């Protein structure tokens, strides 16, 4: 009997070890990204070592997402949560976190990452009052509209990936170095191409573009929403129309997910082009990753200058 057991152990032990090695090699870091830009960035830095799930699409308003059971199920399996923060997801993320029961991704844990913590946010309100509309106490959360912010978030995310998946630390470093090199070259190219946009006056639908404006030197002269998150009324649109007589603009811009009816009404009255920008990865047919997101954004803005 002992002889039989020894023989069985000799046969099974190597198979178990091989099975264990295979599992380790196939192991990935499960990442739950709140918005497409962070999912794309995690994929750039993680490659095959990460399995990224993105909770929202570019055609959804990230302020207002339904905490569906399918999202809760995905969060239960996550090793790392990457969200924008600054209150952008305050209407739905806390419920997902609570319902998931996943201790690894709760606030304060290593698996909880808010991108806006690594960027100096703009448009910080003096006070938070619902009468001011949908304002964010942490400042404007739409940081992904500047590639400089993507660089800062990438630099902060890298050591966290290395901490959570130490076995693949070198691979994350290699991919981050490669991404940084390509990203710096792309930013130079974008800034050269976008030079004609400096000083161009724009009407914005929502204050989604503060970082893009700062980066490219665009000048915001009017906002279609009378308050953040409040749809344009007929009276407010009439005020904007009058305001443009004193401060002319060259184009009206909005995010792909926003209702374009107010933009089109103003375009019809003024002759200005109304342009839908992708806003994030997946916001247009051309914007399928972080690089093509900015390629397409700048191309669309330049098209708006065309006579």
Label residue 228 by pLDDT band (50, 70, 90): confident
Q: Would you state the pLDDT for residue 128? A: 67
Q: Would you state the pLDDT for residue 11? A: 46
Q: Would you state the pLDDT for residue 101? A: 97
Could you read off the pLDDT of 123-142 as tens digits, one per residue? 988 776 666 667 777 899 99
Looking up tokens 């800034």 gives 191
Q: Within a 10 A sphere around the Cβ of 174, how many other Cβ atoms?
A: 12
> Average pLDDT over the chain, rounded to whole?
91
Q: Would you state the pLDDT for residue 156? A: 98
Q: Would you state the pLDDT for residue 24? A: 42
- The whole-model pTM stands at 0.89
Looking up tokens 């630099």 gives 155
Contact 247, 201 (CB under 8 A): yes
Is the pLDDT score of 208 beyond 70? yes
What would the 3-class secondary structure string for the chain be? CHHHHHHHHHHHHHHHHHHHHHHHHHCCEEEEECCHHHHHHHHHHHHHHEEEEECCCCCCCCCCCCCCHHHHHHHHCCCEEEECCCCCCCCCHHHHHHHHCCHHHCCCCCCEEEHHHHCCCCCCCCCCCHHHCCCCCCCCCCHHHCHHHHHHHHHHHHHHHHHHCHHHHHHHHHHHHHHHHHHHHHHHHHHHHCHHHCCCEEEECCCCCHHHHHHHCCEEEEECCCCCCCCCCHHHHHHHHHHHHHCCCCEEEEECCCCCHHHHHHHHHHCCCEEEECCCCCCCCCCCCHHHHHHHHHHHHHHHHCC
Distance CA 233, CA 238 (A): 9
β-partners of residue 113 are 82
Give the pLDDT mean for 18-27.
43
Is the pLDDT score of 102 beyond 60? yes
Is the pLDDT score of 296 beyond 80? yes
Is the pLDDT score of 183 beyond 90? yes
Task: Give percent of the chain above pLDDT 90.
Answer: 81
Q: Would you state the pLDDT for residue 21? A: 39
Label residue 154 by pLDDT band (50, 70, 90): very high
- Which phi and psi (to 5°) does residue 30 adopt? -80, 120
Q: Would you state the pLDDT for residue 14? A: 42
């Amino acid at each position: 009997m002992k002889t039989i057991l020894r023989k069985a152990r000799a046969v099974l032990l190597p198979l178990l070890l091989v099975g264990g090695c295979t599992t380790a090699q196939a192991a990935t870091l499960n990442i739950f990204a709140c918005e497409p830009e962070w999912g794309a960035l995690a994929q750039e830095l993680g490659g095959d070592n990460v399995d990224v799930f993105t909770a929202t699409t570019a055609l959804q308003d990230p302020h207002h997402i339904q905490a569906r059971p399918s999202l809760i199920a995905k969060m239960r399996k996550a090793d790392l949560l990457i969200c924008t923060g600054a209150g952008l997801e305050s209407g739905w993320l806390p419920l997902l976190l609570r319902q998931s029961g996943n201790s690894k991704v709760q606030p304060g844990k290593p698996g909880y990452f808010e991108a806006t913590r690594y960027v100096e946010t703009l448009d910080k309100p003096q006070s938070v009052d619902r009468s001011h509309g949908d304002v964010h106490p942490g400042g404007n959360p739409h940081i992904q509209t500047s590639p400089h912010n993507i660089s800062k978030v990438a630099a902060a995310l890298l050591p966290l990936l290395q901490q959570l998946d130490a076995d693949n630390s070198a691979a994350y470093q290699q991919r981050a170095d490669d991404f940084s090199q390509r990203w710096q070259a792309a930013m130079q190219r974008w800034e050269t191409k976008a030079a004609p946009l400096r000083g161009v006056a724009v009407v914005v639908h929502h204050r989604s573009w503060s970082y893009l404006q700062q980066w490219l030197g665009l000048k915001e002269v009017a906002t279609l929403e009378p308050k953040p998150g409040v749809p344009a009324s007929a009276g407010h649109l009439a005020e904007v129309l009058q305001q443009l007589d004193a401060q002319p603009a060259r184009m009206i811009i909005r995010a792909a997910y926003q209702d374009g009816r107010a933009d089109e009404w103003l375009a019809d009255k003024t002759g200005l082009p109304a342009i839908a920008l992708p806003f994030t990865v997946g916001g247009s047919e051309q914007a399928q990753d972080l690089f093509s997101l900015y390629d397409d954004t700048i191309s669309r803005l330049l098209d708006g200058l065309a006579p």
